[in-house]
Homo-oligomer: A and B are copies of this chain.
Amino acid sequence: MGATKTDHFTGKQNELATLAKAIGHPARVAIIDYLLKVNSCICGDIVNELPLAQPTVSQHLKELKNAGLIKGEIEGNSICYCIDEKTFAKLQNFFSNISTKIEKKKRIAVN
C-alpha cells in the first residue's frame, strides 16, 4: 500500500495533516525560520543559507508553496518568497484550540 486513506477523514483533519506534513522536514522548517528572520524575502539566498543543492531547495519551496505556507512572487528574473501569514494564523488557531480542549478536560477532571 503506502497510499494514505485521505477520503476517510474530515476536511479539517486532512487540512491540519497536510500543513503539518509540509512542516515535517528540518529543511523546510529552516526555510520558514529564514523567511521569518529576513524582512525582504531574498529568494535565492535560501539556497546559500541551506546545506542543500539548488534543485532540492527548489523542491522544498514548491512543497511549502503547495501547502500554502509560503507565497512566491515573480520579480524580474528572480522569485520573491515570503511567509503566508494567513496559514500560520490558522495553524496557531489549531494548536490554541487543542490547548483549550486540554485545559477544559483538566477542569472537568478536577470537579
Give chain A's interface residues, CB within 8 Å of chain B: 4-6, 8-10, 13-14, 16-18, 20-30, 32-33, 36, 39, 50-52, 83, 85, 88-89, 91-92, 95-96, 98-99, 101-102, 105, 108-109
Q: How far is the CA of A96 from the CA of B98 in the complex (A)?
A: 13
Binding site of A, secondary structure by majority: helix, strand, loop or mixed? helix
Which residues from chain B contact A24 at a C-beta distance below 8 Å? 17-18, 20-24
For residue A84, which residue of chain B has the nearest CB?
B102
> What is the total number of copies of this protein in its complex?
2
Let me know if A36 and B4 touch, CB within 8 A.
no
Pair B99/A88 contact, Cβ less than 8 Å: yes
Residues of B within 8 A of A5 (CB): 26-27, 51-52
Q: B residues within 8 A CB of A92?
A: 92, 95-96, 98-99
Q: Which of A4, A22, A36, A96 has its CB near the most chain B CB atoms (within 10 A)?
A: A36
The 8 Å CB contact of A95, one of B28, B39, B85, B88, is: B88
